[in-house]
Amino acid sequence: MSKQDGSSRQVTTGPVDDSATPILHVDMDAFFVSVELLRRPDLRGRPVLVGGTAGRGVVAAASYEARRFGVNSAMPMSVALQRCPNAIVLRGDYRRYTEYSERVMTIFRELTPLVEPLSIDEAFLDVSGARRLHGSPAEIAWTIRRRVRDETGLTCSVGVAASKYVAKVASSRAKPDGMLVVPASETTAFLHPLPVSALWGVGRVTEESLLKLGLRTVGDVAEMPEEALTRAVGPALAARLSRLAQGIDPRDVETRRVEKSIGHETTFHHDLVAYDEIARELLRLATDVGVRLRRAGMLARTVTLKLRYGDFTTVTRSRTLAEPTDVARRIYEEALVPLGDLVGDGRRVRLIGVRAEHLRPAGDGAPLWDPDEEWRDAERTIDEVVRRFGRGAVRPAALVRPAAESAAPTVRDAADEEPPPGPRSFW
């Protein structure tokens, strides 16, 4: 049995059939803010933001009180403070968040070995083999919420369903601090009234395409012939949306995370115009990407350059390599090729990013001819020097600035995860 309050929040409040719902999605509630409130309990109930205020700082997390003003994560802090002038802004503490994340993930793994972390504050769990020890899926979800609260002081929301997609939607409906079980037999009844934006993979552009077809709910998508949907969004996305709209998601909980891409991007304090300055930042980012590839034991077949201009127009350019690489110099040179056509003529650059994609394990066969062999050996040698003596032990002349220019030009270095220790660049 579930109930829905005056908002969109929906929670399970009584007995419910969870016999065929072994998948849990656990999502911490306003995680960064909640961790900060453990040491600032006087701020509970007030609008709190975590993030940077200098220059072009962004919101990393917002309390639910702040969200009522239309504030959300990734929003420029200047905009957030316009919408919510009374918000209290706190600097983030990533190391502390990581510590709490590890404590929460440990609780999950004590209940089932099948845990798939999605990020620092959420995970999928498969509890199909844990019934004998810990009870039914709903009972395990209840145990998780109780233990997280008792052992960390934090709250989480849990979705329980027959598939990963439905479990994730359920956890979002249960927020904050709730649990929602979607019985397998009620999957489509739960999904079909939801807006099309609830479908995984539907962003702003795809949502607009669906709305133009008159498709406003998940149920509308489920009833649309796949051929007609294909003409609007393409065959691959049409097939996926049709399946998801029926609640079909065959993905298993994967305990081993496989990197799909590795990248870094930087937003500048002030827009850059000069080609040399932009290229130098590209060099720094490519270096960090190369370091992470080698640490992960992965090779990339595609390099993607991303630029965002001062008017927020964003462009990307990708290049496929003849041979996959983990060499920063190769990543930089490939990303540099399209750069000349994208900058200059007074165009002001707000953000630059570089991403390595189409990854495969480094041990999956070696090319007959490796054009980057010497650079790879040099970079691995530098990796070892940095491991022993620390980040910054070696750096190229291209990234050494005079003292007068030594202030960092960026406010954010965003990546899939916290950048590992490593050299800034090697040449």
**Same fold for the domain at 17-183 and the one at 261-415?**
no
- Cα-based distances in Å from 381 to 41, 331, 385: 48, 18, 6
Whose CA is closest to 269, among 117, 78, 70?
A: 78
Identify whether the C-beta of residue 226 lies closer than 8 Å to the C-beta of residue 239: yes
Indicate whether this model's pTM tops 0.85: no
Strand 115-119 to strand 349-361: parallel, antiparallel, or no bridges (unpaired)?
unpaired
Tokens of 250: 């065959």
Amino acid at 137: P
Domain ranges of the chain: 17-183, 192-245, 261-415
Q: Summarize pLDDT for 289-347 with one digit per residue, the tens.
A: 998 888 888 889 999 999 999 888 899 999 988 788 899 999 999 999 999 889 988 88
Contacts of 244 (CB under 8 A, 6+ apart): 165, 199, 200, 201, 218
- How is domain 261-415 classified at the architecture level of CATH? 2-Layer Sandwich (3.30)
Catalytic site residues? 122
Q: What are the C-alpha distances in Å from 390 to residues 289, 379, 402?
A: 18, 15, 21
Structure confidence at residue 317 (pLDDT): 93
Annotated binding site: 27, 121
Work out the burial of residue 408: count CB atoms within 10 Å of its CB; fewer than 13 is exposed, 13-18 middle, 19 or more buried: exposed
pLDDT at res. 6: 43
**Distance in angstroms (rounded) separating the CA atoms of residues 204 and 197:** 8
pLDDT for residue 233: 85
What pLDDT is attached to residue 305? 95
Residues contributing to the annotated binding site for Mg(2+): 27, 121
Pick the CATH number of 17-183 from 3.40.190.10, 3.40.50.970, 3.30.70.270, 3.30.1600.10: 3.30.70.270
Task: Provide the token pair at 328.
Answer: 């920063």
Tokens for 238, please give them.
């049409």
DSSP 68: T
CATH T-level assignment (fold) for domain 192-245: DNA polymerase; domain 1 (1.10.150)
pLDDT in tens, 41-88: 999 999 999 987 666 678 889 999 999 999 988 788 889 999 999 999
Instruction: Return per-residue pLDDT of the chain as tens, 427 residues.
Output: 555 554 578 999 889 999 999 999 999 999 999 999 999 999 999 999 998 766 667 888 999 999 999 998 878 888 999 999 999 999 888 889 989 999 999 999 999 999 999 888 999 999 999 989 999 999 999 999 999 999 999 999 999 999 999 999 999 999 999 999 999 999 999 999 999 999 987 888 889 889 999 999 999 999 999 888 998 888 888 899 999 999 999 999 988 766 678 999 888 888 999 999 999 999 999 999 998 888 888 889 999 999 999 888 899 999 988 788 899 999 999 999 999 889 988 889 999 999 999 888 876 554 545 566 666 667 767 766 666 655 554 554 455 454 444 433 444 444 443 333 333 333 3
